[in-house]
Amino acid sequence: MQASVVALDPRAVGVSFQSGPVERLIVELADGRIVGVPLAWSPRLARATAAQRTQWELVAGGRILHWPAVDEDIDVRALLATEAVVVPPDEDLGIHPEGGEPFGPPRASRMPGEGCN
């Protein structure tokens, strides 16, 4: 039996939000996967208005999601990570929205209850 090979492409192509007992950030990837994470993973987005949440941008070819109104950046790779990634808020990520070299190290919003060491 021959195994199927699927090309993974972890770039975002769409964003939505899901209401319910646990609000979720839903990200559609270029390869067809859909990833959902608790909105609490991003305190800035959790506090944002519905209008602010709809004002998102793709940066670095879809590898970074950016919400200018609340100054939030989420690395799509962090949504797929198997371990939490915590980056100090003042770390320069090297994100260049107007072009240039791609982003720097992976970044995710802090998990609830976690802080910087």
Alpha carbon distance, N-terminus to C-terminus of the chain: 49
What pLDDT shows up at residue 5?
77
Segments in the chain below pLDDT 70? 84-117
CA distance 82 to 44: 22
Does a structural domain hold residue 115?
A: no
What pLDDT shows up at residue 88?
53
Does a structural domain hold residue 3?
A: no
CA-angle at 47, arms to 26 and 69, nearest 5°: 80
Does a structural domain hold residue 5?
A: no
Does a structural domain hold residue 98?
A: yes
Q: pTM of the prediction?
A: 0.68
What pLDDT shows up at residue 65?
97
Does a structural domain hold residue 116?
A: no
Looking at the structure of the chain, the number of domains it has is 1
The CATH number linked to 52 is: 3.30.2020.40
Round the average pLDDT of the chain to a whole number and report it: 79
Task: Identify the domain containing residue 91 by its residue range.
Answer: 10-110
Alpha-helical regions (H) of 1-117: 43-47, 50-54, 76-80
